[in-house]
Structure 1
Amino acid sequence: MYLLKFFPMIFTSKEERRKFHDSFKGCFILLILIASANICSGLTDQVEVSALKAIHRDVGDVLNRLSNWAGDDPCGSGWTGVICETINGTGHVTELRLLNMNLTGSIAPDVGNLTELVILDFMWNNITGSIPPEIGNLSKLYLLLLNGNKLTGELPPELGNLSQLNRIQIDQNNISGPIPSTFQFLNNAKHFHMNNNSLNGSIPPELGRLENLVHLLLDNNDLSGELPAELSNISTLLIMQLDNNHFSGSIPSNYSQLGNLRKLSLRNCNLTGVIPDVSAMSNLGYLDLSSNQLTGQLPLAISQTITTIDLAYNKLDGDIPDALYKLRGLELLFLQNNFLNGTFNGSIMEHDLFANASSVLILDIQYNNITDYQSGALLSLSNVTLRLYGNPVCNDNSLGGNICNEYNGSILNLSLPNTATSPSLECSSELTCDPSRNFELVYGLSLLYGECHCAYPLNIGYRLKSPGFAIFPPYEDGFQVHLSSGLNLSVYQVNVSSYNWEPGPRLSMNIKLFPNNTTNEFTEAEVDHLFNTFTSWIIPDNYTFGPYELLFFNKDFPYNGTLSPGTTSSLSGGAIAGIIIGVIIFTGVLVAVFVILIAKRQQRYAKARRHHERIKVAGVKDFTYEEMTKATNNFEGSTEVGQGGYGKVYRGTLADGTVVAIKRAQEGSLQGAREFFNEIELLSRIHHRNLVSLIGFCDDEDEQMLVYEYMENGTLRDHLNLSSKQPSNFVTRIQIALGSARGILYLHTEANPPIYHRDIKASNILLDSNRRAKVADFGLSRLAPVAELEGDTGGHVSTVVKGTPGYLDPEYFYTHKLTDKSDVYSFGVVLLELITGMQAITKGKNLVREVNLAYEAGMLLSVVDPRMGPYPAECLRPLVSLAISCCQDDTDSRPSMSEVVRELEAIWSLIPGKDTMGSLETSISTDSGVNYSKGLYFNNSFASSEVSGSGLMSGTIPHVAPR
């Protein structure tokens, strides 16, 4: 009673004292009701308690991993692998994670009583018996993970009741019998991983109704019958992997309708007939139809995105089509043991190998009827392997080299030629770590973030179940970028320590995860987060790397004392809730209410103060949240036009009819809040035709939004993508480059004080209705140092590295010193994107490095984007030189933005016909008597196939096929 009288004295007004009393009474009554309910009903649903005890009884816990499964409150006591949620005052089991615990025995049918279960995970144990049909009662189940056990029996038809199921993984068991036709009702299923079992019968045609299916993995079973044509209805399908089964008949011709398919693998399936038309599979990257009885000719047209073709051990005949010689991204072409004839025409080969010394091209044409051979420049490269053994052309042994040597290796043990690799950064040999303490040295990229140091890694077993490639080295860097992004780690924290190919082919890896450079070990919360990210499949799917599985998650010292993920529970305080004493309740409520009300009062004060000090800028309107909801029809999905790390971008229409772009910060984004205020502060002081204008902002109802002028033509990146229906021509690209450069020059020289943008990239250059370029997104920008205002252009800002991989200035990356030349480097990458159409990083390959390699090889013309149409050679040469000079590693070797603008203006002045015709498409025409060929236009006359001059573009100009 004294406490009750004391606390309200802190609140000075009668209104605050009244609210305190009301809040206190409400909270007290609510807590008493909750405590009473818990005492009466128990903390964990008793049916589920019984189910867990039955599960414990039936599994063999040989290593005593479930020793804490005791008592009657799994949720309150934190049973290993049991994760709960409170629903209507009662604890319910929502996740059962028992992976990799050496469990034996069987799965009790009582598991069907865990009716709130979302994740059921028994992966990588030694469980026997059959899958209980009672699992079909789990109407909320999202992940069914039973792979890597010794399960037998048939698949229960009741599993078709799991309407919420996203992923079914039963691979690597001994399950037999047919695939139930009831699986057609798994309407939300995306992943069918049922490979490496003994499933028999035919594939139910009803599976063609699964409109969300992404991965269909049924390889290594005993399936038979014809392939169902109905599978062509699954427009979402990315991977169809059915190898090593016993089908009959041919490949349905309507499989050509699978336009999104990335991988088609039907190896050793006893298939006959001809190869269907695969030209409409525009995204196909991996085709394996080997070891069948296919007849007819090779595909006459195939996707330019393909990297691997294996058609070996069939009965194919005819010539090798020209289309196969012109696949620029091809890595493996296996055609051995067929009846192919004619000439191997290496002289017409086109490939991107010259631009990446780590790439490999293997052409295996052994045991065919090839009678002639024409060499080409590409075949002389060390990373190209051609095998013609067993063909008539090798009978006289006149070809020389290794072309006519026999090779019997498989795709799993390829004998790869030596390839150049990018120099890796090494830690000093003076730094050693004590292996007895499980310390390891953080190698390589850690140097970019600070000194090398010793740290305790987490060791992860990871396997790619159906990768879209057969050679890993060219993709290793890209994989580490992909995995680090999915785990929310820096790239240097992820290291592939070893890998090996397994039958499938599947790629098994040992991965080490290192803590960041500020500490030598992960926290318990970080370990738990990493584990849950892997086992909940939070890492986004990737077209190149395909589906993955976690093989093990080792926690050596010092992590072996860490609680296994899942041992804690959302009801960890429930064990004492049933014996709450009145005094503790009373005191706890009073203290809690007091703290909450004080906090709310401070929040109101802080919020009022913040709103009182809200930025007011002339010409920049302060919108309300209500105005923003009206402008976007309550942020309707159809108005969303983009998304980034800051949040989502919507197209909105203001009350006066003005169309705007509204960038809305995602809830709870501290970084977004910083970028929000930073961008308002900077944009309020800058105005230029080549900078996106800030119209207003909203800082209302805990929402933060920025309102810009709307740019009808999206980002520059959109127009350079391969999917762009209207790729920009050469003139437009120069216009975009010049406009962007002028905007950046304004930031560096005319803004007061000058500004370093820090995130120049193709997706931050927007295009208006006339394709005029405007630089956007100033959330990471920094003001130049005071010395800059006094004319010292050598000033820098020391700051944490921010930006986008592929565009980052290496000097800034190493030293954390941001200068105006950092923006110059990023802009140079944008120029290379305009020239080549490629992205800054593709499949782990860095565009700057690729172009430099092409430049050194004297074959730079072959990377020029053919989609931009004809271009004057005298304009292209200085443009390429400018881009390369901007991307020099040495800061002092780069031009300033003023020099960049002058050079682009000079290039612009050289373009013929731009003022009257506006584009080269109209100013250059064969109808007007002007000749042009292979994308070169030079002073209104035909350019020869050899370009003389500085050597920048010397060498034969190959025909450039669209990428």
Structure 2
Amino acid sequence: MAWDLVKYTERTWLVQQYHLARPGQGPPRLGLYDRNGLCFTRVLNGNELSGSLPEEMGNLQNLFVLQIDENKISGTIPKSFGNLKSIGHLHMNNNSLSGEIPEEISYLPSLVHIVLDNNNLTGPLPAELSNLANLLVLQLDNNKFTSSHIPSSYSKMSKLVILRLRNCGLEGEVPDLSGLSLLDYLDLSHNGLSGPIPTGRLSESITTIDLANNNLNGSIPAIFSGLPHLQRLSLARNQLSGSVPSTIWQNMLFSKTATLILDFQDNRLSNISDTLNPPENVTIRLQGNPLCTTSSQFVMSEFCGPERGNEERVNSTPIDFSSSCPTDNFCDYVPNAPHWCFCAVPIRVDYRLRSPGFSSFLPYKSSFEECFTQGLNLEIYQLDIDSISWEEGHRLWMHLKIFPQCCSQHIFNSSEIQRIKALLTGWKVLLPNVFGSYDVLNFSHKGPFDTATDESSNSGITIGALVGIVLGVVAVSLAFSGTIFLFVTKRHTQRRHGSLRTRPSSSIPIKIDGVKGFTFGEMARATDNFINSSQVGQGGYGKVYRGCLADGTVVAIKRAEEGSLQGQREFLTEIELLSRLHHRNLVSLVGYCDGAGEQMLVYEFMPNGTLRDHLYGKSKEPLSFAMRLRIALGSARGILYLHNDANPAIFHRDIKASNILLDSKFVAKVADFGLSRLAPLPDLEGTIPDHVSTVVKGTPGYLDPEYFLTHQLTDKSDVYSLGVVFLELLTGMHPISQGRNIVREVNNAYRSGLLLSIIDGQMDSCPLECIEQFTKLALQCCLDHTDGRPTMTVVVRELESIWQNMPESESLASRSIDLYSASSSTKTRNVFTSYDISGSDLVSGNIPPVYPR
């Protein structure tokens, strides 16, 4: 599609001789903004525009933002741009612009951002840019300023926050930048800069200094010490000599999210100025220096090893709605809402920081949330930063969810959507300078509560609106009742546990057969004083560490956090109960520690981690269907033992993929009985009730919906949760993801004859009959009403039947399995003909293998 762009008026621009090639991608995204945020259309970036920039653009006196990045624009930057007196943002990166940066750019009094990276610009860097008194961002990476020096006048740009001149063909010495008192981010890497590093004091707000891949020499100066916000200092691949300074981090106060990376690789450093003993927040990289061949084995192993990944995750520990929010396919739970289980349809925004002044986002996360929500006139809890990702060119992509206010509504009305959209796309959400400028890449709001018109209806309210109202009322009622129960329970727990962390050591000695009592000192020695590197997990109870006891036994040590501490008698009673559970498919309790304000449980160590790890990408080798079936059978047997053979019987109440562990032979073992409840005991007449009335607890996605509604916990509640795990094994899908519920997704595919479309593509081929049997069983376990679900006895029988139908080669490939006869097991196959779960008629004649998607 060709666009003829000509000068139209001062406030409207249709550009001349541009070409837009977006077949099948919808309408173009053309647009410009003036100072008042008036948008001529929308944005100009990412449109495949080609051609050169017309001189007539210089007539747009009111133009505030020129955003034409990520196109194919060539030619030079017109000198007429010097007439854009109102321009504040000049974003023309990722094009094919050539020639020199015109001196006329330095005449623009309002210019705050110059972003021209990834072009073919040449010539010297204009020294006149230092005349831009309000310039905050100068980003010129990946251009061809051959044989150019960095003008010393740049040190006069007193408001500059971000200076990026990476890979620009620069030569000469690094200028003294001590005059840039507000500088947060400096990147001069991948150039031909030489000479020593200047010793002038740098800005105390600086987070990143990257001088790597140059020809710098001399020693590492003391100016890098005492920079309180420093996150990354890279001097790698230069010719620096002398010693490694050990004082850089000494005056830094590290928060929980703060880290510091010191990259000194591939230089000529020959010794260490003092003993290197950095805190755990600091990473030092020294490989490729002479000292790595002459220093102690400790230095060589600790700092001279291969570079490790440094992936940043904004939500490293997903929120666990352990107070049992009901599964919901229509909306998302608001993680930080003042009322638990508040569910709403969010606005979803793909948002990008173009030139952030930091290397790690987490220390700035709170500041971003506060300023972003303030700019939109929202409460902080209404924003959820769902995920982040660093993109090439030092740009930070975010997926944001913006929720309605709790708890009056579950969906934004149209006027509120338009208000938020106008503020975001009109550049009216002001952030501190350290965040640079931003793009709104996508803005969407979709959900079952969206307004829809039904022209065939004569009623005053549409069917869609009526469904939305009903669902909203039901959701509010459930959330309100759940909140009341939660609030009372939480207050009671806080009062009961408030001072336990500081209580004295155990004063009620107790001996429990088969379980050893450990001292705090023994636990500390086993984990090297609970060093971070020994931590292997974290749950609602606390952190889990890998430990090695004095006799060489490797164990997993669960250390309760302050909010998880119990009363001493309750803790020891729980240990006594756990000590009586012995089954090959349950994680064995080895011992405990109760003293010095600490409570720890010591379990056998599971070297292959959790089932969740293997399903969602942490494992290098995917699980075959035979191995998944074997894990399902092992898990079912462990739960069957809890229901039928434990004395007293136990309902687990929190079965999920992360609570199924795998030993060295991939034998599944059920773990984490922190939420377990004893099954009901017979009353005076010998009758055993079929449920336990209790406050609802569990994990969203795995929670029995009938248990949530009635607060009546039964053995069938565990059956439902295990059924969800079976569906995860089958599909590789999360129980709840992006508003989608795994039970509904699989049910819909099964009933529609599309079962093969949802099978996990990581699996190898497997018999279709076995897949279909396994799917039917999983869906029967996940029926809404408890009466329709099979018992654990029947679940184990059916899994054994499926296993027997597996080809011998596949069952052997997953390692041998002992199909021993448990008290509840039988070789007789149960076909489950009584359950009303209709599926596709996939089987006819010979049974073909299934090849997953």
Q: TM-score, normalised by structure 1?
A: 0.43
